[in-house]
Amino acid sequence: MPRNSTKNGAPSNVDTAKAPKREAVSPVAEITRFPENRSSPVADPGRIARAAAGDGGAWAALVNRHLPAVTRCAAYMLGDRTEAEDVAQETFVRLHRKLASWQGGEDGLSSWLHRVTVNLSIDRKRAPARPVSLADIGEVPEPAGLDGPLDRKRHVEAALADLPARQRAALILVHYQGLSGREAASALDITVEALESLLARARRTLRNTLAPVRADLLGASHD
């Protein structure tokens, strides 16, 4: 009789230890620790349902797919990377709470995430700033000279930040985030016609704001 067999033919040295259970999706307090892998997996019709059922891998894939766009949108809206990361975190906390009641697959998820991101960003912009004491500021450095060419990125971002919130959101969603008109309108919960009106006003305001520095923005030489 073989060494590792029993009288009924079953191996006697089989490891009977139970396989570890699959870890459920972390509670809301823990999901803010986004996965380090920031790749963007392709859309998966069943991913949301699996995440809602407790599949941690499905949840991580959802975050990996949509986190970069959400963070970028918040950064454009707020002009501050740290604030943008806070908004992105809260956006995914809200998504986690909504998983169980989500209807359908990932269709419409991008628009929903952008809507939440824009609304949270607008609310954060409206919140009163925390008072800063002179002790917090420390010694103020001398201002840098302005004789050189104007910083194109800085001026465009400043003009963008001065736009009314809804105009800024429309411009960011379409021109920076690459959403279609219908997707952007859905994210803002308005009609496509209303979106086009916001875009037209935003572009006109930007043109007027940047007109005095147009030559510098285009790289014109100064004599």
- Of all residues in the chain, what percent carry a pLDDT higher than 70? 65
User: Which pLDDT score is estimated for 167?
Assistant: 94
More confident residue, 222 or 211: 211
Lowest mean pLDDT among 11-15, 31-35, 105-109, 189-193: 31-35
Judgement on whether residues 54 and 119 belong to the same structural domain of the protein: yes
Judgement on whether residues 93 and 160 belong to the same structural domain of the protein: no
Nearest-CA neighbor of 182 among 106, 91, 110, 105? 110
Condensed to tens digits (0 to 9), the pLDDT of residues 90-123 reads 999 999 999 999 987 787 899 999 999 999 999 9
Tell me if 217 sits within 8 A of 155, measured CB to CB: yes
Q: Which of 80, 111, 127 is the last residue of a domain?
A: 127
Residue 30 has pLDDT above 50, yes or no: no
User: What CATH code is carried by the domain that includes residue 203?
Assistant: 1.10.10.10
Judgement on whether residues 70 and 123 belong to the same structural domain of the protein: yes
DSSP states of 41-87: PPP-TTHHHHHHTT-HHHHHHHHHHHHHHHHHHHHHHHS-HHHHHHH
Judgement on whether residues 120 and 68 belong to the same structural domain of the protein: yes
Number of domains in the chain: 2
Judgement on whether residues 174 and 79 belong to the same structural domain of the protein: no
Please report which residue ranges of the chain form alpha helices under DSSP H.
Answer: 47-52, 56-78, 81-98, 109-126, 134-137, 152-161, 165-171, 181-188, 192-210, 214-217
Question: Domain range for residue 111?
Answer: 23-127
Q: How many CB atoms lie within 10 A of CB 81?
A: 11
User: What CATH code is carried by the domain that includes residue 28?
Assistant: 1.10.1740.10
Condensed to tens digits (0 to 9), the pLDDT of residues 166-194 reads 999 999 999 999 999 999 999 999 999 99
Residue 80 has pLDDT above 50, yes or no: yes
Q: Kindly state the DSSP code that residue 176 receives in the 8-state scheme.
A: I
Report yes or no on 3 lying in a domain: no
The whole-angstrom separation of Cα 122 and Cα 100 is 27
Q: Which residues contact 31 (CB under 8 A, 6 or more apart)?
A: 25, 59, 92, 93, 96
Residue 70 has pLDDT above 90, yes or no: yes
Report yes or no on 8 lying in a domain: no
The whole-angstrom separation of Cα 161 and Cα 158 is 5
Mean pLDDT of 18-35: 40
What are the structure tokens assigned to 7, written together?
């009288």
Judgement on whether residues 121 and 164 belong to the same structural domain of the protein: no
Judgement on whether residues 165 and 117 belong to the same structural domain of the protein: no
Looking up tokens 């800024």, which residue turns up? 168
pLDDT band for 164, please (50, 70, 90 cuts).
Answer: very high
Mean pLDDT of 26-53: 58
- Point out which residues pair with 5 in neighbouring strands: 11
Condensed to tens digits (0 to 9), the pLDDT of residues 60-69 reads 999 999 999 9
Report yes or no on 116 lying in a domain: yes
Report yes or no on 18 lying in a domain: no
Judgement on whether residues 27 and 105 belong to the same structural domain of the protein: yes
More confident residue, 221 or 90: 90
